[in-house]
Structure 1
Amino acid sequence: MTVADYVTRCLHDPVGGYYSTRPALGEGGDFITAPLISQMFGELLGLWAAETWHRLGAPERVRLVEVGPGDGTLMDDALRALRLAPDFLQACDLILIEPSAPLRQEQERRLAGADISPRWLSSLNQIETDAPVILIANEVLDCMPARQFVKTDDGWSERRVGVSDDGDDILFGLSTITGGFEKPNYDVEPGQIVEISDQQAIFGRDLAVLMAEASGAALLIDYGRDKPGPGDTLQALHRHARVDPLEHPGAADLTMWADFPRVLEAAVRAGADVTGCKGQGEFLRLLGIEARADRLIQGRPSAEAVIRRQLDRLTADDQMGTLFKVASIFSPRSLTVPGFE
C-alpha cells in the first residue's frame, strides 16, 4: 500500500487505529501540542477569533469552528479569554470537527461547563454557510499523510509499505508509480524523497470553498515546509520519543510535515485568498504573547520560571518558533487577517 494509505490505516482504522482507540496526548502520553504547553496559546487564538469577527463587521451570527480539537484544551482556554468579548460569544455558534470517539468524549468532559455549548460535526462540508466562519486548525495538516516518491538513477518510483516474504516483517519497498504524480519543478538528487499529499490539498480546497461561500478566515498552524523541497518527514512518536514508524502499527502517533505551499495553492485555485506563512513565534508575538506572559507573572510571581519556559517553548527559534508555521485562508479579499497586517 502507499505510505499515505498506511498512515491513514494506522491512525484511523476503526478497530486498531491510534486515534480511533488509544490517542494519548500530554506529558503522560505520546506527544504534546502547543495548547498543552501553556494556556497563553489558546487564549491568544480566542482573542484572534474575536478580532477577526470585528474586522468582518461584527455580524450578528458567526460560526467559531475548531478542526481536530484534541482534548479540548485550546477551546477551553479560548472561551475563557473570550469572556472579554461577550458580544462575540453571544453571536457564536461553536462547532468542533472531530472524527475520534475517545477524543470527542474528552472534549465533551472538558467543555461541559463552557460559556457556550459546542456541537460536533464530522466534516467541513457539513458546516452551514449562512453566517461567517472563523476556523482554527492546530496540528491538523500533519495528520493528513502524503505519498512518497523516490528519484532513482532510472527515473521515479513510489515508496510503498509491504510485508516480507515470510510475512513476519513490515518493510519499505519501491514500486512502479500508478497515477497521481507530477515531477517536481525543483532539483532532486537520486535517492531523495518527494512527498505529495492529496489529503492536505483537498483540505485547503475545501477550506477555500467554505470561506468563499460563507466569508471568514481559517487559521492553519502546523510544523512543516513553507517552500517546496524534497525530504522524508514520516515520523512516529511513542512516549515523546521517535520510534520506527513500521513497528507496532496503531500503537504510536504517525505524522508527516504540513505542505503549506500545496495547501495554499489549492485554496487559491478554489477561489479564496491566502496569506503567506509566518513562524509561530513571530505570529504569537504579534498577537501579544509577551505581554500576556508578563501579566501572568504579575499574578503568579512564584511561577515566573515556568511561564518563561513555556513562552520560550512556543516562540524560540530553536523550539517551536520557526519549525511551526502559521497561515490563513480567507474571504473577502478586503479582510485583513489579524497577525498578518
Structure 2
Amino acid sequence: MTPLDRRIRAEIAASGPMRLDRFWNIALFDREHGYYATRDPFGAGGDFVTAPEVSQMFGELIGAWLVAAWRELGRPSPFVLCEVGPGRGTLLHDMLRSIRQIDPDMLRAARVRIVETSDHLAALQIERVSRFDLPIARHRRIEELDRLPLLLVGNELLDAIAIRQLRFADGAWREREIGLNADGALVLSGGTPLRAVPAPLAELGRPEEGAVFEFSPERDGFIGTLAGHIASQNGAALLIDYGHLATGFGDTLQALRRHRFASALEGVGEADITSHVDFARVLALGSALGVAHVGAMTQGAFLLALGLLERAGALGSTMDEAGQRDLTAAVHRLAGNGPGDMGDLFKVAAFSSAPLTLPPFRI
C-alpha cells in the first residue's frame, strides 16, 4: 500500500466518499508522494511515450508553426513564449532549436517561460534547454505569466487536468465518488441524485441507463485564463491531446503504468491518470471568452499540413536503410490511424487573437 493509498483511505473513513477530482489531484500532484512529483514518467523507460519522444520532427514542425504565427501577429516584441507541462523538456528543446534556425529575431524577442507544478520535472526541463543560453523562468500557474502577447503550447496537458464524472442511474444523474468497499478497497460509487447538471450535459438529451458524462471545472478554468490572456494581450495557442471533437457520453477515465492500462484505484501515486478531452467544450469556451479565432483538427492532418512528409524526406536522405525504416515508423506513429498511432486519436486545438493562414484555421 502506497503512502497516498493510506492517506486517501483515512480521509474517506473520516469524512465519507471523496469526489473524483480530489482523488485525482492527490494521486497526481501531491507535493510529496504524487505521481508527477516523484518520477520521470516519459519515454520507453517510463509509463508512456509522448509525441516529442517519438521524433524530433514533432517539435520542429510546431516550432515552425510558432514562427509563422509570430510573424502574422505582427512580430510582437517582447512576447511570452510558453510551454505548459513540458514533460522532460524535449518538445521545448526542439521548438527552440527550430525557431533559432528559422528566425533568430524571434528568440531575441521572446521571454521563454515554462509552467510546471512539479519541482522534479521543472529541473529536468530547465537542464534540457540550458544549451540555448536563454533566460528561462518557471511558473506554477498560467496566471503568473507576464501580461504580454503570448505564444503558448500545451501537449498532453489537458488530459492530466482533473475531471468529475456523473452516472445516470434510476432516472437521475449522480456524481461518481471514491469510496471503500467491505474489504477496505477503493471503489467508484454513485452519490445522491443531483438537482442540477452542467450546461453541456443538459443539451445532450435523455441518456440511456448507466451512461457516464465527464466534465472538468478545472480544465474550464485553465481555458478561461488562457483565452482571457489571448483576448486581452493578443497571441495564439496550440493545445494537443487525445480526445473528441463533439461533446457526448462516455467513460474515458484511465490509468497507465509501464505502457499498459492499469487501475486508477490501485497503487495510488504510481500510475498516470488521464481522460479524453472534450475539444468541442474547449473551443466553445475560447469563443465565449473573447478569442477571435478558434479551430481544431486531427493531429495527423495537422502535421501533414505542416509538411511532415517533406521533413521526413529531408531527414531520411542522409540515413541508412535502418534509419529510414525508423523514420517511416515515426511518421506512422505521429500521423497514422492504425492501432497505437496518434494521428486520429489526438486532436489539435488552436486559439488566436487575429486571423492566421495556418492549420487548423485554414482547413
- Fold match by TM threshold 0.5: yes
Question: Could you tell me which amino acid in structure 2 is paired with residue 293 of structure 1?
Answer: A
Query: Matched residues in 2 for 1:63 and 1:123: separation?
Result: 14
The one of 107, 127, 133 aligned to 2:125: 107
Query: Matched residues in 2 for 1:144 and 1:223: separation?
Result: 13
The one of 329, 335, 344 aligned to 1:322: 344
1:287 aligns with 2:306: yes
Superposition TM-score, scaled by structure 1 size: 0.95
The one of 255, 274, 277 aligned to 1:255: 274
Residue 253 (structure 1) shift:
0.4
1:93 aligns with 2:111: yes
Residue 328 (structure 1) shift:
0.9
1:173 aligns with 2:189: yes
**Paired residue secondary structure (2:208):** coil
Deviation string for 1:35-87 (max 9, x for gaps)? Answer: 00000001111111111000011123221110000000001111111222111
Structure 2 CA distance for partners of 1:32 and 1:179, relative to 1, 3 Å = farther
Residue 336 (structure 1) shift:
4.1
1:152 aligns with 2:169: yes
Residue 280 (structure 1) shift:
0.1
Question: Could you tell me which amino acid in structure 2 is paired with residue 17 of structure 1?
Answer: G
**Farther off after superposition, 153-162 or 208-217:** 153-162
The one of 146, 171, 184 aligned to 1:128: 146
Query: Matched residues in 2 for 1:114 and 1:218: separation?
Result: 23
Residue 173 (structure 1) shift:
0.8
1:306 aligns with 2:326: yes
Query: Matched residues in 2 for 1:194 and 1:60: separation?
Result: 43
Query: Matched residues in 2 for 1:296 and 1:335: separation?
Result: 28
Query: Matched residues in 2 for 1:177 and 1:113: separation?
Result: 56
Q: Which runs of 5+ in 1 are unaligned?
A: none
Structure 2 CA distance for partners of 1:338 and 1:60, relative to 1, 3 Å = farther
Aligned 8 A contact 1:2 1:159 in 2: yes
Q: Which runs of 5+ in 2 are unaligned?
A: 1-17
Deviation string for 1:222-242 (max 9, x for gaps)? Answer: 001110111100101000000
Query: Matched residues in 1 for 2:311 and 2:195: separation?
Result: 50
**Paired residue secondary structure (1:25):** coil
Structure 2 CA distance for partners of 1:339 and 1:148, relative to 1, 3 Å = closer
Deviation string for 1:93-151 (max 9, x for gaps)? Answer: 1111011111011112211212523211111111122x311000111000012111111
Count of aligned positions: 338
Q: Which residue of 2 aligns with 1:296?
A: 315
1:10 aligns with 2:31: no
Query: Matched residues in 1 for 2:260 and 2:185: separation?
Result: 22
Question: Could you tell me which amino acid in structure 2 is paired with residue 174 of structure 1?
Answer: G
Aligned 8 A contact 1:217 1:337 in 2: no
Query: Matched residues in 2 for 1:20 and 1:228: separation?
Result: 32
Superposition TM-score, scaled by structure 2 size: 0.89
RMSD: 1.6
Residue 180 (structure 1) shift:
7.0
Residue 335 (structure 1) shift:
4.1
Query: Matched residues in 1 for 2:118 and 2:196: separation?
Result: 28
Residue 339 (structure 1) shift:
4.2
**Paired residue secondary structure (2:231):** helix
Residue 177 (structure 1) shift:
4.8
Query: Matched residues in 1 for 2:235 and 2:196: separation?
Result: 31
Structure 2 CA distance for partners of 1:115 and 1:175, relative to 1, 3 Å = same
Residue 15 (structure 1) shift:
2.2
Aligned 8 A contact 2:349 2:360 in 1: no
Structure 2 CA distance for partners of 1:235 and 1:163, relative to 1, 3 Å = same
Query: Matched residues in 2 for 1:4 and 1:262: separation?
Result: 18
Residue 184 (structure 1) shift:
3.2
Structure 2 CA distance for partners of 1:262 and 1:94, relative to 1, 3 Å = same
Aligned 8 A contact 2:298 2:347 in 1: yes
Residue 209 (structure 1) shift:
0.5
Q: Which residue of 2 aligns with 1:231?
A: 250
The one of 325, 331, 334 aligned to 2:353: 331
Aligned 8 A contact 1:148 1:194 in 2: yes
Structure 2 CA distance for partners of 1:106 and 1:180, relative to 1, 3 Å = farther
**Paired residue secondary structure (1:299):** coil
Structure-to-structure mapping, 1:64-75, within 5 angstroms: 64-75=81-92
Residue 91 (structure 1) shift:
1.1
Identity %, equivalent residues: 38
Aligned 8 A contact 1:205 1:269 in 2: no
